[in-house]
Amino acid sequence: MKKRLPLILTGVMAAWFLCTLRAPKENDFAYAEFGGLPIVFNGRVQPIDSLARNSLLQLREKQTANLEPWKGWNERPKIIPAIEWLANVMMKPDAADEWPVFRVDHPELIALLKLPEKDKQNRQDGKHYSWNQIQPSLEAMDR
């Protein structure tokens, strides 16, 4: 058995390594490669991924987007990385406008914008709102 142990360990490690070499699905968007593309923002060159993470930090104080914030962590809400969020904002704005990524904590601002209260049945956590929920009140204030 002692003579075969190195052979068994080598075989297990080789199998594990080969499993990581799977080709990605052809219909999946290459978010990691997209995130590595350079962009000039605020006068400096940076990867698009940095812009995405910093933008989400400003909007919701996290580097990921929880698309179902009304769900508890034990209910496994759909969470996407910042680069996937930014790619969808840029390429599918109609779908991204439905995502609750804007965090609003101040109760007076929530009342001013006429945003819905916390209601799990209507899929609302009382803190995160989509652009489509905020935009009508902003247009009314502009008049």
Token pair listed for 34: 């997209």
What does the pLDDT read at residue 24?
62
Alpha-carbon distances, residue 138 vs 103, 108, 115, 126 (angstroms): 16, 15, 11, 18
What does the pLDDT read at residue 123?
74
What does the pLDDT read at residue 18?
83
Alpha-helical (H) ranges within the chain are: 5-19, 31-35, 48-60, 82-91, 93-96, 107-112, 131-142
What does the pLDDT read at residue 125?
76
pLDDT by residue (tens digit) across 84-133? 999 999 999 999 999 888 888 888 888 888 888 877 777 777 788 889 88
pLDDT by residue (tens digit) across 30-77? 888 899 999 999 899 999 999 999 999 988 888 988 888 777 778 888
Domain extents for the chain?
A: 33-142
